Structure 1
Amino acid sequence: MMPAQCPVAILFLLLLSLPLSLSFLSSSDDQETVPEEWVLLHVVQGQIGAGNYSYLRLNHDGKIILHMRSLRGDADLYVSDKTLRPSFDTYKLQSATCGQDIVVVPGDFARPVGIGIYGHPSYQESEFEMRVFLDDTVPQDPFEDSTLENEQNLKKTHATSSDDFQEEESIFWTILIGLLKLIVEILV
């Protein structure tokens, strides 16, 4: 009598576990649900080595949602409106999980916003995909003085580009002086 009950018990257990199995199979990371009001602006895919950073610049105005998931390894997200090269030492917003990383960039952050993607050292290489959304549900302030803000952003952009130029100029002079020293040592 016992052997006849085993197939029935196994069949019963299989029927009980079927809905759980189907829900697991249908819940894929590819079918992420985002609010309909969000507008997809960009999809960025990339790879990053262990302990390294990859940097992006966000110029788009408004409330932005950065939704990144690690496809392989573990990539972390660091965001700042003060530096274009945020890291785990210098950031304003961050998400450092082992799966999905989500950062909401407020609309009042100064643009451009620096985005740093860090490859966690526990993996030789990490592969990621980041979706950049605009949240259109945030109303713009109709009384905001946009001309003053635009002038301030223009000054910041000029300062950033002149800083970049000075950095490039400094590297140029360092290399040139090093070459001149080498030539002098060879001639002497």
Structure 2
Amino acid sequence: MMRSCSALVLALLALLLSQARGFLGPSEDDGLPEEWVLLHVVQGHIGAGNYSYLRLNHDGRIVLHMQSLKGDADLYVSDKTLRPSYDTYKLQSVTCGPDVVVVPGDFARPVGIGIYGHPSYKESEFEMRVFYDQTVLQDPFEKYTSEDGQKKKKSPEAAEEDFQEEESIFWTILIGLLKIVLEILF
């Protein structure tokens, strides 16, 4: 009982420290671009041959920068499954050193992140920093123009507006027909 309580306290302390680091941002001697904004710091342990899964919901271009503190943890990323593995992934980094994966802004969200503990080590310890890359600015007109140059909305709000416009046209025509029928009858 005492052991589980101390493990819980250590886990909470690690969580608080990672949150504090997230507010401080990357240090100037990290060699990371200033345009990268630190969103999260995730620390964990993974057993040999096991996976730990995370979910990424942030939009935009995201950089996952993972360092194996002990052992060797590998990184698998997918926008098709929330449980990517060495069989099912879109992006990967499986180095013996720092693992870096850049998640493009056009990946469907949520993005699944799989962290794999390499079987060469009984346990791997890792720290992953999640950055938002501000250097990639999206074209503000991208959602509104198609290849032939005509204006075209692609957002979900646009589809809802089109539906409401079609619905209002339908009701306008229906009410007009009802007026004509009523005028003929009375």
| TM bucket, shorter chain | 0.5 to 0.7
> What is residue 49 of structure 2 aligned with on the other side?
51
User: Match for 1:131: what amino acid?
Assistant: R
CA distance in 2 between counterparts of 1:85 and 1:149 reads 27
User: Match for 1:136: what amino acid?
Assistant: Q
Q: TM-score, normalised by structure 1?
A: 0.61
Q: How many residues align?
A: 122
Shift of 1:143: 1.9
The structure 1 residue matched to 2:103, chosen from 91, 102, 105, is 105
CA distance in 2 between counterparts of 1:94 and 1:150 reads 30
CA distance in 2 between counterparts of 1:125 and 1:57 reads 22
Shift of 1:145: 3.3
Q: Which runs of 5+ in 1 are unaligned?
A: 1-29, 152-188
Identity percentage over the alignment? Answer: 80
Q: SS at the partner of 2:127?
A: strand
The within-5 A match list for 1:60-71 is: 60-71=58-69
Q: Point out 4+ residue stretches in structure 1 off by more than 3 angstroms.
A: 144-151
CA distance in 2 between counterparts of 1:148 and 1:43 reads 34
User: Match for 1:114: what amino acid?
Assistant: G
| 1:57-116 per-position Cα deviation (integer Å, ceiling 9, x unaligned) | 000001100000000000000000010000000000000011100000111111110000
Q: Which runs of 5+ in 2 are unaligned?
A: 1-27, 145-152, 158-186
User: Match for 2:59: what amino acid?
Assistant: D
Q: TM-score, normalised by structure 2?
A: 0.62
- What is the RMSD computed on CA atoms of the aligned residues? 1.8
CA distance in 2 between counterparts of 1:118 and 1:149 reads 36
Q: Which has the higher helix share?
A: 1
